A = this chain, B = another copy of it.
């Protein structure tokens, strides 16, 4: 019998969906918790049955549509449980809808499992839904992270393909700030087989016989920011395997497994970036999430500033909708965000 990282209760929110059901399976394969609860507003019993038929043996798998039952005694929560964007919905409709879902999630955490240890949020826009959940759950910033690594892993994958090397030969890929077209891609820390990427772009210097022109780099960055829609085009459906897998890796780290060193979305409280959740240099460990300093060129820091501004605008929209109170009132709801 394999050992689990913990016997404390792990809840997958949105477990009946494609992402949630994959998370649940991945969590069992990776031995996260012997006590796995599947929760969804649609019955996740079919998913639970499939997982029982995998015969993981030492794990207890429960399924429920009751949030009270699900969250009671929960110590770890991963939520993929937002509404997907439907035909005719505007971006703002989606934002309002999922911000509302996040508020309820946070309130339920506060009500039913205020002693939860770590929460990972992945429903879109995760920078906002994570922030809203954090506020209403009353948790410390180090206890809640959002999935923000996929832009960085996509950059790693694109560079590995271009140079014809293994992905593990491409190190320190990171994108910070918001997700999507507003992300800030940091090239300066990246090395390909030990050679700094900045020594390669537009210099004619080759690694594994391949150069990278400035135009190719710009095209690659653009492709990375559109990584999600590329999957839809290739596969006819939104990506679900990579968000599920990577968020389970994040949670494994919070439980004491291998540290997670890709960027995570977390609450920023520096002098320059604050009252926002965004992708930062982080390490998730059993003792919480550590935030590290940004290190980048002036150009990279400027693109991070732009990304931050974009996120603040988005946050202010949600404040305008009334889902979040004004920033100076946050401490009344969650003293950890004073």
Interface residues of A (CB under 8 A from B): 1, 16, 21-22, 25-26, 29-30, 43, 45-47, 49-60, 149-150, 153-154, 156-157, 160-161, 166-168, 227, 230-231, 233-236, 239-242, 245-246, 262
Q: How far is the CA of A54 from the CA of B150 in the complex (A)?
A: 8
In angstroms, Cα B239 to Cα A230, docked, is 27
A153 adjacent to B239 (CB under 8 Å): no
- Cross-chain pairs A/B with CB under 8 angstroms, 12 sampled: A1-B168, A25-B26, A29-B29, A46-B231, A46-B236, A49-B230, A50-B242, A51-B242, A52-B153, A52-B160, A54-B241, A60-B166
> Given contacts A25-B245, A51-B242, are A57 and B168 in contact (CB under 8 A)?
yes
Contact B54 A242 (CB under 8 A): yes
Contact of A47 among B154, B167, B235 (CB under 8 A): B235
Residues of B within 8 A of A54 (CB): 153, 241-242, 245-246
Min C-beta distance of A85 to chain B, whole Å: 19
Given A26-B29, A29-B29, A29-B30, does the pair A55, B166 have CB atoms closer than 8 Å?
no
Q: Point out the residue from B30, B47, B56, B227 that lies within 8 Å of A53, measured CB to CB.
A: B227
Interface of A is mostly: helix
A61 to B57, CA, bound (A): 30
A241 and B55 form a contact (CB under 8 A): no
Cross-chain contact B234 with A43 (CB below 8 angstroms):
yes
